[in-house]
Structure 1
Amino acid sequence: MQIIIIIMLLALLFVNNTNAQNPTRAIFADSSEKKDMNEIVVQSTRTSRTIKNTPTRIETIDGEELDEKNNMRPSNVSMLLHESTGLQVQQTSATSGNASIRMQGLDGKYTQLLKDGYPNFGNFASGLSILEIPPLDLKQVEIIKGPASTLYGGGAIAGIVNFISKMPKEKLEGDFILNQSNVGQTNIGAYISKKNKKIGYSILGAANFQKAYDVDKDDFSELPKSNSFTINPRFFYYINPSTTMMLGNSFTTSTNTGGDMEVINNKVTSEHTYFEKNKTLRNTTIFELEKKFTNKNSIKLKQSLSFFDRHITIPDYNFSGLNTNSYTDVSYIFSRRKHMFISGANIIFDKFKQENINTHNAQSFTVGVYFQDTWDVADKITIESGMRIDNITYQSIIFKNNQTFALPRLSALFKLSNKLSSRISGGLGYKAPTVFTEQTESMQYRGITALSNVTAEKSIGATVDVNYKTNISADLDFSVNQLFFYTQINNPLILESDIIVNDFFVNASKPINSKGFETNLKFIYKEDLKLFVGYTFIDARANYLTTNQFLPLLPKNKLNLTMMYEKEDNFKLGIEGYYTDKQYLYNGNRTPSFWEFGFMAQKTFRKVSAFINFENFTDQRQSKYKTVVNLPHDNPSFDAIWNHTEGFIVNGGLKLKL
């Protein structure tokens, strides 16, 4: 009751004495349609087309929602993705908080994470990637669901999430944030950028500090003691009006320690000995050179080199190694009448070197060529067809294999009227074998043998969506996006155990199938009051299982509700509700379903904004049903994570925008 009273008082405070404005920005783009005055140019298809004229279905999270989610979780993008329809943030460790992104119910390894089109977040880095991407410098996030291998190659089976950075403008841009929460988290972040005739720059800096937090008083942390630091400078040289060169470097270092609270507080005893410590260092250097021609043709060279060093330590066990990734891509875009063509080639080298021992030393080398044609057949029909051919050599210390993949993809956009449109898309994909999965991450890679005699997983998938928008009245706008999806993964790589209790990967003889649909509704009243409804239904099964075939830790039904009221440059109020259906555990048992709710408020005073956020204010958490940690203290085991672990969080702070 006290929380409800506080929320009501805050609402009255923020609404009082407001001035009428005329905001035109939507909170998020959950379909392919936006208001005409808000043309969004998407980058993930490389065609520089607006979102409503792109045959590939792309969801964008931009402007206002990025700002809102930055209030809720300034340290990383986990909250941004957790509350998106059809996406699931799956926590893989009860003590360290590591997590991965699931799309269409499939394991996180099938979703490719990109930063400005660079695939530097896979394999050994994948379990911590979303925890090490700060949202402060993001312009928008683009999500492609379904096969996206033509431009991005292996790993994009379920889809891609592309985090797009802001670009320097002639006017100095600056964003600063200071945040504090009741669970002991402090966040400080700054972003500045500027452009002149020849030189441009952008710099992101972020520091995050978290105290160990034990909400259920079971002597084990739900949030680890952690600190992280990120610095990301980028420099632009405008050689001439048509040629731009960019050089950037992103450096992140972090340490987090979870487990027994006594151990974290340096009070080790014979009973209190368990901990899990992660130390990481990530450094990525990128280089781009782009030349534009007078006929809108262009050529672009992209190069990145990434190092990810990670040490995992628990009592009597250590796993550590260095993951090196090199990505080179050259592409040429050219137009002919009603066609826009993209042709290109890329080379990807990925190597993992384990420290001290070489059990999981592995590397892969991929050479790919691709071609895509976007054809404006008529005013109301656009077809996008593409083909990629990849040759990949991958090896462990035991075996070596080489495979070649032909990956066709076809998308079509039909503008049936000015209110109704539809997209159809389908294609093939693959995923090279790796020991780095959600399941092995939760085991700290203990007891996992090296890959041997396995082949790449192959997929076929398709999506169909329908978009409709209309004006219900002069003051009420309505739009709906209905998506249907299907993915089949053949030769899925699964973890099995032998009689010596070693775990090893094999290719299953039967596929994984994921099918379902997403429904997104959007209501906008007088451009100030906005209601968003998102519903996801997923039926994902592992056909190689003989008993329960439903994929574990996957709710069949999810419902997202968001209502936002705002006056631009004045205030905003938002309330959210999320329903998660029952889930199967690995042992075949089912979890309860649950609701969670949140509330946020922000008041702007010229360049300064004050915000407060009540996340999960009904204190929904897994330990209310059963403790996640199973004793004894000195050798605990942990249940799989299917709910929140940290419970209710309230945070607030200040933002300065130049």
Structure 2
Amino acid sequence: MKTWFTFLLMLLLSLSFAQKGFSQTGSIKGKIISEGEALSSMNISVIGNERIAKSDSAGNYSFLNIPVGEYRIQVTGVGFKKMDKSIRVLNDEQTVLNFDLSNFQTSLEEVVVTGTLKAVNRLESPVPVEVYTPGYFRMNPTPSIFDALQNVNGVRPQLNCNICNTGDIHINGLEGPYTMILIDGMPIVSSLSTVYGLSGIPNSLVEQIEIVKGPASSLYGSEAVGGLINIITKKPQNAPKFSADFFSTSYLEHNADLGFKFNAGNRATVLTGLNYFNYSNPVDHNHDNFTDVTLQDRISVFQKWEFKRKEDRKFSLGARYLYEDRWGGEMQWNKSYRGGDQVYGESIYTRRYELIGNYQLPVKEKIFLGFSLNKHNQDSRYGTTSYIAEQQIGFGQVTWDKTTGNHDLLFGAALRYTFYDDNTPATTGLNQAIAKKTWLPGLFVQDEITVNKQHKLLIGFRYDYNSVHGNILTPRAAYKWSINENNILRLNAGTGFRVVNIFTEDHAALTGARSVEIPNKLKPEKTYNVNLNYLKKIYTENGNFIGIESSAFYTYFNNRIIGNFDADPNKIIYDNLNGYAVSKGFSTNVDVTFNSGLKLILGATYQDVATVEDGIKTQQILTEKVSGNWAVSYKIRPLKLSIDYTGNIYSPMRLPLLSATDPRKEFSPIWSIQNIQFTYAGLDRFELYGGVKNLLNWTPNKGNPFIIARANDPFDKNVQLDGGGKVIVSPDNPYGLTFDPSYVYGPNQGIRGFFGIRFTIK
């Protein structure tokens, strides 16, 4: 009996210890934050245990009575990429596990429209689209979007004149006429006014800027050869009630951006933006008696109406007016000398009127009518040369968005009318087939086929009929392979075309002493393009993020139109290339974000842009082979202080010399513009910012005897010519040059400080 009692007692003690061992538990608690702020209503789950919690208003969460062991805890929420971490739960202990989702915001999942003319998630688009928000450009505040684009990899604002500072946008080394500028998807900015169209768009009204590199003529028609820049304006209902942004520089540049919205009755919300820029302080730091920087007085007013309709159908209207008075020239110039030959100046008056609209038809199908109108008047004087031009463009487009099965279809019909007239020989002869009025109707179709979850195929085709050049066909194809959630491969191929009017696109033809010669009738340019894009995302357990996007591109040109600056120093000779041209290269963007508050955006592009004629390869003028850009940002969250260090660097490019005896350098040096900014956001509704631009105080005159040729004789009054029209070398003209301001490859503005203030009422 005693033996049985001892056995039962030992058995009960064993079961008690076993039960105690099986019931060992612990707990988990933590906090969910992003950018130093608590996140509420986030979902926290224990993978494999089916325990779920939600963060409270302070971002806190907890799990009690979790059995001892190894677990993975996952956090998900609207607007954030899911994040999970490993943890070990110990007996009778409370384990702290915090999550910082600062780098897990779904910044790579913006909605984009430019690649396919449809609103799609950026990661789902078969066409790679780069997206830049106003926050990115605020790291280096500028008075215009034209200037802001210097911080975009593979995109370079190119100044074309040392005096008037007109310019264009280069994408992957291709000049401005190959880039189409859109506002809300409408081709509102014509080739006559690329630089003016990008100036004066109030930054307060910009929602995001979408960039597509490579031909997109199958959707957008002529000019969409090198790429697209689509400026998406804010929806009025999403904009703050009032915003203001003012800044000034030590050069005495002053810029003001104002934005405000109001309700017009119960059915319309109106957003208004105003931009004013003034620079009236002539400086001549290189002592050539010419202004280093063009003086400007510019005002732009933009208004957008958004109407509420049944079933949330879209209807928006936008309008903009731009006026600009800019001049550069000899320091003693004033408007009394405009157009005369006593004191040299380049004076440009610009007026633009724009209207854009998008209307969804009141039918069951998704059919949209988009339209735009613009009128551009330009009155310019380049010394004694006048350029008085008027351009009017009307554009209408109907698209039908239809989904059936695994086919996402888009059908469209477009009509573009262009009126252009000026006082140059372009409209009166020179063997160029130019009509004052041209029509460009077109039809296009696009089919995006979802083969399965991983594979998508896009096929597109466009037919246009130009009233001058006839039939034009542009096919397109794209393939997207989602290898997994964090690796995407895209392949795009297509053709492009451009109908040319050089006089609306090349100010070098008018600014300076060179005359223009067109020996043959110019034919439309055609291109063939292929682009391979790879995107990789890396999320680390400690909350850091690395994004890598690389592209290889190749564009082949037929009928490339070249401006020959080399054959004769007194002429620019335009003709279709008797051969071919190629633009090829490779670019990479790297985005690294640490939960410590440090963010790195790095970009680099290698490009080879050249022409081949009679077996001889020539590098394109004013085109760098290698470029890089960076933006380093660090947030000191307890102090509400941000530090932004931005910059770019360019390899040498070939420059337009006037003769073999021209003493200026044939190639530019390696050059870099770098900036630093400090922003304080510790005040309610206010933000203060300031810093230094061009930290290295770099200007293109360094290392050169002069930049503007014959600045002492801008009207060539003392230039002697021989019987063949060539310049005679003389004691007054030892290098045999004529006046010419086209030797320009970078901004001629040195180091300067800036300070600004932003105010927002949400």
**So what's the TM-score if we normalise by structure 2?**
0.76
Letter in 2 for 1:424: L
1:387 paired residue among 461, 480, 500: 461
* Counterpart contact for 1:359–1:450, Cα < 8 Å: no
Alignment of 1:120-269 (within 5 A): 120-169=188-237, 172-194=240-262, 197-211=266-280, 212-264=282-334
1:94 counterpart = 2:162: yes
Per the alignment, do residues 247 and 467 of structure 1 end up closer, same or farther by CA in structure 2, a change over 3 Å counting?
closer
Per the alignment, do residues 109 and 34 of structure 1 end up closer, same or farther by CA in structure 2, a change over 3 Å counting?
farther
Residue 273 of structure 1 aligns to a residue whose secondary structure is coil
Query: What residue ranges of structure 2 are gaps of 5+ in the alignment?
Result: 1-34, 40-77, 81-102, 430-434, 658-664, 715-738
* Counterpart contact for 1:213–1:224, Cα < 8 Å: no
Letter in 1 for 2:37: Q
The equivalent residue for 1:424 is: 491
Q: Percent identity?
A: 18
Alignment of 1:380-459 (within 5 A): 380-394=454-468, 402-436=469-503, 439-441=506-508, 443-444=510-511, 447-448=515-516, 453-459=521-527
Shift of 1:420: 1.2
- Select between 193-202 and 608-617 the one with higher mean Cα deviation: 193-202
Structure ID, larger Rg: 2
Per the alignment, do residues 145 and 602 of structure 1 end up closer, same or farther by CA in structure 2, a change over 3 Å counting?
same
1:287 counterpart = 2:336: no
The equivalent residue for 1:623 is: 701
How many equivalent pairs are there? 621
Q: Distance in 2 between matches of 1:119 and 1:342?
A: 19
* Counterpart contact for 2:396–2:415, Cα < 8 Å: yes
Tell me the C-alpha RMSD between the 2 structures.
2.9
* Counterpart contact for 1:514–1:539, Cα < 8 Å: yes
Q: Distance in 1 between matches of 2:554 and 2:579?
A: 16
Per the alignment, do residues 503 and 589 of structure 1 end up closer, same or farther by CA in structure 2, a change over 3 Å counting?
closer
Residue 95 of structure 1 aligns to a residue whose secondary structure is coil
Q: Distance in 2 between matches of 1:463 and 1:182?
A: 43
Q: Distance in 2 between matches of 1:189 and 1:248?
A: 18
Alignment of 1:110-129 (within 5 A): 110-129=178-197
Shift of 1:484: 0.3
Letter in 1 for 2:593: I
Q: Distance in 1 between matches of 2:747 and 2:239?
A: 42
Letter in 1 for 2:587: E
Shift of 1:207: 1.1
Deviations 1:160-205 (A, max 9, x none): 0101000111775322111111112111221122457411111111
Alignment of 1:269-280 (within 5 A): 273-280=343-350
Q: Distance in 1 between matches of 2:162 and 2:214?
A: 30
Per the alignment, do residues 632 and 201 of structure 1 end up closer, same or farther by CA in structure 2, a change over 3 Å counting?
closer
Shift of 1:379: 0.7
Q: Distance in 1 between matches of 2:359 and 2:213?
A: 29
* Counterpart contact for 1:272–1:634, Cα < 8 Å: no
Shift of 1:631: 2.5
The equivalent residue for 1:29 is: none
Shift of 1:405: 1.5
* Counterpart contact for 1:486–1:516, Cα < 8 Å: yes
1:65 paired residue among 136, 142, 151: 136
Residue 511 of structure 1 aligns to a residue whose secondary structure is strand
Q: Distance in 1 between matches of 2:650 and 2:229?
A: 22
Shift of 1:615: 1.4
Deviations 1:108-141 (A, max 9, x none): 1111111111112223223433334342210000
Deviations 1:47-102 (A, max 9, x none): 21100010000000014214334xx21x2112321110011111011111111001
The equivalent residue for 2:86 is: none
* Counterpart contact for 2:252–2:279, Cα < 8 Å: yes
Alignment of 1:639-654 (within 5 A): 639-654=742-757
Shift of 1:561: 2.2
* Counterpart contact for 1:274–1:315, Cα < 8 Å: yes
Per the alignment, do residues 487 and 34 of structure 1 end up closer, same or farther by CA in structure 2, a change over 3 Å counting?
farther
Residue 138 of structure 2 aligns to a residue whose secondary structure is helix
* Counterpart contact for 1:312–1:444, Cα < 8 Å: no
The equivalent residue for 2:661 is: none
1:21 paired residue among 33, 37, 47: 37
Letter in 2 for 1:628: I
1:55 counterpart = 2:100: no
2:559 paired residue among 480, 491, 500: 491
1:529 counterpart = 2:586: no
Per the alignment, do residues 145 and 385 of structure 1 end up closer, same or farther by CA in structure 2, a change over 3 Å counting?
same
Per the alignment, do residues 148 and 448 of structure 1 end up closer, same or farther by CA in structure 2, a change over 3 Å counting?
same
Letter in 2 for 1:648: I
Residue 163 of structure 1 aligns to a residue whose secondary structure is strand
Residue 199 of structure 2 aligns to a residue whose secondary structure is helix
The equivalent residue for 1:603 is: 680
Residue 516 of structure 2 aligns to a residue whose secondary structure is coil
Residue 511 of structure 2 aligns to a residue whose secondary structure is coil
* Counterpart contact for 1:226–1:255, Cα < 8 Å: yes
Shift of 1:356: 8.8
Residue 128 of structure 2 aligns to a residue whose secondary structure is coil
